[in-house]
Structure 1
Amino acid sequence: MFDLSQLRCFVAVAEELHFGRAAARLNMTQPPLSRQIQVLEHIIDAPLLERTSRSVRLTPAGRSFLPEARRILKLAESASQAARRIALGKTGSLKIGFTAAAAYGFLPELIAACRARLPEVDFSLKEMVSGDQLEALASGQIDAGLLRPPIARPEFLTRRVVAEPLLAAIPEKHPLAAAKTVSIGDFDGEPFVMYSPYESRYFHDLLVAQFARAQILPRYVQHLSQIHSILAMVRAGLGAAIVPAAAASFEIANVKLRPLKLPTETSVELFLVWRRDHENPLLPSLIEIAGELAASDGRDD
């Protein structure tokens, strides 16, 4: 099979129709150039050029072969450029997992910033609860995740990208809806829409700990995993809830969001997580951009 150097020699001669000019164009002398053309013709088993002492012309086979040779050289160059850009972290794909709450605030900011900085990168986004993201990271199904703690696994590296306060979500007709600030003690014995202890373990355990510190016990009317579903229950008047500040972007009718007083100062955290032994050259850029966004809002480590 012929190689790319033989194709380059043929294309140069075919375009110049002169061995001297073609040799100068390729920064080589005429004898090795002639030899490359001869080897190519031998491999193809067809004459490509008609040579005389005064002129060089393409044979019918040469005229047919020329556009194909150009196409092969162009494909080879495109392939090498693509490989270089991937190696430099300028193109390729990133698979990112995220919790539903991340989609309300940080994720859109992150993707917008990445698309501005990395316009040739394809982003594949998958909504997953935190536990499923950890397993997807371990198996290589995703390159990075936006998830909630705990993340005590040595094979992962993390960066905190969000630390936001909690808000009280109150049905519009509830007496607490008129309050400027709600205390966690106000939920004692009240109907309360709680997080699932399985799919939303982080929020569930965090609130259970806060209720224990305040020595109160709300009356759980429903356990749900998604914040938008919890707010829908609040809107229906089934009970109050506690949600991260990012939920304010929903602007759900008949739900009042109020600052929440807690026994101890508490923020809900979101982390960017990735494998310590990752092989995606785009990942450092994602980590850098996420860190810059977090730092600009004062919510990083």
Structure 2
Amino acid sequence: MTYTLEQLRGLVAVAEELHFGRAAARLRMTQPPLSRQIQKLEAQVGVRLLDRDNRRVALTPAGEAFLAEARRILAIAEAAPDLAQRVSSGSRGLVRLGFTAASTFGILGRLLDRLERELPEVRIELFEMVTREQIAALANEDLDLGLARPPFDPELFDSRLLHREALLLAVPSGHPLASLDRPAVPADLATEPLIFHSQQKARYFYDLVVSMVPLAQERVVHSVSQILTMLWLVAAGRGIAFVPASATLLAIPDVALIPLATPVPEPVELHLLWPRRTHNPALARVLEALRDVEY
């Protein structure tokens, strides 16, 4: 079944005016070509859409049903150029955002709020991934943007520091370390069982802690990938753990978070990460909206 937008516009005009002469004037055409358009449309649809005689014009039941579809098709057709322009400019579209679990501790929500205010027609699709998975997905164009931990290959990716925070020590409530009147130092931890970051699945935190706090690895009793899991193990009295300061937002019962002496005051970094070559025009608009954002 093939019909033209002109035929649909003709039907809508006649249905709204209920008069061929007025409908033709509205469309800036003469009545005979309009009548032929309606006849061709009815032939293509295969049913009578209008009842007409010398005195009146009325829609048939089939015409009433077809009129609703005609209006919908015309609305889509009329909106299509504007939609294409907005997608091309990046003001509308889809951005696939990868994030680490720890970035949800307050940061991700505020970032999404900013994008919703600045770019309400850009849809953000979320994917929880560790940094290693995000890098692979960005390289394969399965993601457009990441919230990830360094380091990155500068030839493949561009990045922007979004957030920096301290590294804290999580201990069970009532633990002697919780009553220190100073930041904990490595010597304070010499005999403590350690809940550590997985070297494979949480490599950034693993390398960071090893570089910042000299520790005996034989003291490690558990290796896990998620900070929330570490905190619950601490709450259960299984050991002590190293967590970013944003973990205070989780407020896990029976866990105290205490300062830790580190060579760099705020060594934990979170970056926006994106490929240097991208085919998504909405990404540039998202990056511009987040240009001056720092949490």
Which moved further from structure 2: 15-24 or 285-294?
A: 285-294
Shift of 1:271: 1.4
Shift of 1:20: 3.1
Provide the aligned C-alpha RMSD in A. Answer: 3.0
Shift of 1:107: 0.8
SS of residue paired to 1:261:
coil
For residues 178 and 253 of structure 2, what CA distance do their matches in structure 1 show? 13
| Cα distance change of structure 1 residues 194 and 66 upon mapping to structure 2, 3 Å threshold | same
8 Å CA contact 2:197, 2:223 repeated in 1: yes
SS of residue paired to 1:291:
coil
| Cα distance change of structure 1 residues 117 and 16 upon mapping to structure 2, 3 Å threshold | same
1:102-122 alpha-carbon deviations (Å, 9 max, x no partner): 011211212233334445554
User: Aligned residues: percent identity?
Assistant: 40
**Aligned equivalent of 1:200, options 189, 199, 202:** 202
Equivalence for 2:245? 245
The one-letter code sitting in structure 1 at the alignment partner of 2:250 is F
1:95 and 2:96 aligned: yes
TM-score (normalizing by structure 1): 0.81
The one-letter code sitting in structure 1 at the alignment partner of 2:72 is K
Structural mapping, 1:11-50, within 5 Å: 11-44=12-45, 48=49
8 Å CA contact 1:184, 1:261 repeated in 2: yes
1:1-48 alpha-carbon deviations (Å, 9 max, x no partner): 111111111221232133332123223444543443344345446665
For residues 271 and 150 of structure 2, what CA distance do their matches in structure 1 show? 7
Long gaps (5+) in structure 1 = none
Long gaps (5+) in structure 2 = none
Shift of 1:252: 1.9
Which moved further from structure 2: 7-16 or 40-49?
A: 40-49
Count of equivalent residues: 289
1:186 and 2:153 aligned: no
For residues 97 and 177 of structure 1, what CA distance do their matches in structure 2 show? 35
Equivalence for 2:72? 74
Shift of 1:67: 3.1
For residues 246 and 77 of structure 2, what CA distance do their matches in structure 1 show? 43
For residues 274 and 80 of structure 1, what CA distance do their matches in structure 2 show? 35
The one-letter code sitting in structure 2 at the alignment partner of 1:232 is W
1:42-91 alpha-carbon deviations (Å, 9 max, x no partner): 54466655666x5452475xx52343133133144246537445455455
SS of residue paired to 2:204:
helix
1:57 and 2:49 aligned: no
8 Å CA contact 1:187, 1:217 repeated in 2: no
Shift of 1:129: 1.0
